[in-house]
Amino acid sequence: MSSQKQRGTAFETACVDYISEALESEPGEIHRLTLKGMRDEGDIGGIKSHGKRIVVECKNYSGRDRMAEWLKEADVERGNADALAGVVMSKRKGIGGKRTGEQLVSMTIDDFISILTGIGKDER
């Protein structure tokens, strides 16, 4: 496994563990997803708002800003998963270990409104 893939896997696992503990979820309820190629549905499963799925795309990347590209990816995966919203969790350089809660979550305003209201942007 490449070092970049290892970093990505470690970041996804840290996010799953942190969110699972914070939400007091059942073991395995929030989990890493397997890749589905063109029909990928994100990196983390089991997160919901208003009873509807939230797609989470994780990025552990320290190069140039690619957030616009990642948000488009999360939106495609939202559609693949028939989910309410798609968000990007990205690792901040120099933040790790016990500070997982300080990582970033990015989304469009439409996805933010969907999470707050439970009404998807395609339904408004």
Q: The CATH number of the domain where 20 resides is what? A: 3.40.1350
Q: Based on the structure, what is the number of domains in the chain?
A: 1
Whether 124 is in a domain gets the answer no
Whether 123 is in a domain gets the answer no
- Cα–Cα distance between 64 and 87 in angstroms, integer? 19
Q: Count CB-CB contacts under 10 A for residue 30.
A: 22
Instruction: List the domain range (segments joined by +) for residue 33.
Output: 3-117
Indicate the pLDDT class of residue 113, thresholds 50, 70 and 90: very high
Indicate the pLDDT class of residue 1, thresholds 50, 70 and 90: confident
Max distance between CA atoms of the chain, in angstroms, equals: 43
What is the model's pLDDT at position 115?
98
- Cα–Cα distance between 7 and 113 in angstroms, integer? 31
pTM metric for this prediction: 0.93
Q: Mean pLDDT for the chain?
A: 95
Whether 43 is in a domain gets the answer yes
Residue 16 burial (CB < 10 Å; 0-12/13-18/19+)? buried
Whether 122 is in a domain gets the answer no
Rg (the chain; Cα; Å): 14
Between the alpha carbon of residue 79 and those of residues 30, 73, 114, the distances in Å are 20, 10, 14
Indicate the helix (H) or strand (E) that contains 79: helix 67-81
Tokens in use for 41? 């549905």
The candidate with the shortest Cα–Cα distance to 86, out of 95, 96, 94, 77, is: 77
